[in-house]
Amino acid sequence: MSETEKIIVVIPAYNEEANLPSVLKRAAEALPGADLLVINDGSRDRTSRVARSHGARVVDLPFNLGIGAAVETGYKYAYHHGYDLVVRVDGDGQHTPEEIPALLEPIRAGELDFAVGSRFLGKGDAIGSTTLPRRMGIRIFSRFVTSLVGKPFTDPTSGFRAFNRRTLHAFMAEYPVEFPEVETIFYLHRKGLRIGEVSVSMSPRPSGKSSINFWSAVYYMYKVTFALLILTIRSYRNTVSTKGGDR
């Protein structure tokens, strides 16, 4: 443990026994001294046992809550256990753990409160890591978020993120359960936090298949667009949250 700050890597996992060992091993190598926390989102396979045997702490949700609520569970854990820095890495192996230090860099340097790992900033095989419809959706939300925030966001749907305790506070006050990625960027901006992107490489999902089908994609577009519009008319003048610190 060379750092004085407490770091936690939050890894949501739903039926990821195949991908978890590699993710956990590489995360531990990339960030020695950090605690690894797997949120087992009601998996029916051996996700929980596999995670434990690879040195991770595990929070087992009794049934599937969805990735948003699973991630939020990890953030609640980080908040209650006093972590200074939080990294979110998906358990499906898409996010490359080797990139964690790069993602944490601007946070540690005090330049940003919240960093999003983008695969479209010139590093790695961006096209190979995503499908065409998904890319179109990303482009739409990229324009949308960029114009709302006034700062370029090339990969707003990326779930590869790192942030500090200030951001954690903001998440305790409010965290969207469904498809939180895009929404949280604008939410944190409205809360007055410093947000930005960091170039990272990602890999295609190594095992299993994504759960997104046509209708859920349509619903995704609607939900995120509507949530962003609502955020523009919500009042955040009182940035000091009363809900976050009641424990």
Give me the residues that bind another protein (CB under 8 A), please.
57-63, 65, 69, 72-73, 76-77, 80-81, 177
Q: Which is nearer to another protein, 72 or 155 (CB)?
A: 72
Task: Output the smallest distance, CB 72 to another protein, in A.
Answer: 7
Sheet containing 195-199: order of strands: 57-61, 35-41, 7-13, 85-88, 161-164, 114-118, 195-199
Q: Which is nearer to another protein, 36 or 65 (CB)?
A: 65
Task: Output the smallest distance, CB 247 to another protein, in A.
Answer: 11
Question: Sign of the CA dihedral 132, 135, 137, 140?
Answer: negative
Q: CA 213 to CA 235: how far, in whole Å? A: 34
- Read off the tokens for 96: 């490359």
Q: Which is nearer to another protein, 109 or 242 (CB)?
A: 242
Q: Which is nearer to another protein, 61 or 221 (CB)?
A: 61
Task: Output the smallest distance, CB 73 to another protein, in A.
Answer: 5
Q: Residue 205's Cα: distance from chain center in Å? A: 16
Q: CA 225 to CA 130: how far, in whole Å? A: 21
Q: Which is nearer to another protein, 39 or 138 (CB)?
A: 39
In terms of phi and psi (left: phi > 0; alpha: psi -120 to 50; beta: otherwise), the region of 149 is alpha
Q: Which is nearer to another protein, 80 or 234 (CB)?
A: 80
Which stretch of DSSP H or E encloses residue 38?
strand 35-41
Task: Output the smallest distance, CB 14 to another protein, in A.
Answer: 14
HEC readout, 94-132: CECHHHHHHHHHHHHCCCCCEEEEECCCCCCCCCCCCCH
Task: Output the smallest distance, CB 213 to another protein, in A.
Answer: 22
Task: Output the smallest distance, CB 69 to another protein, in A.
Answer: 5
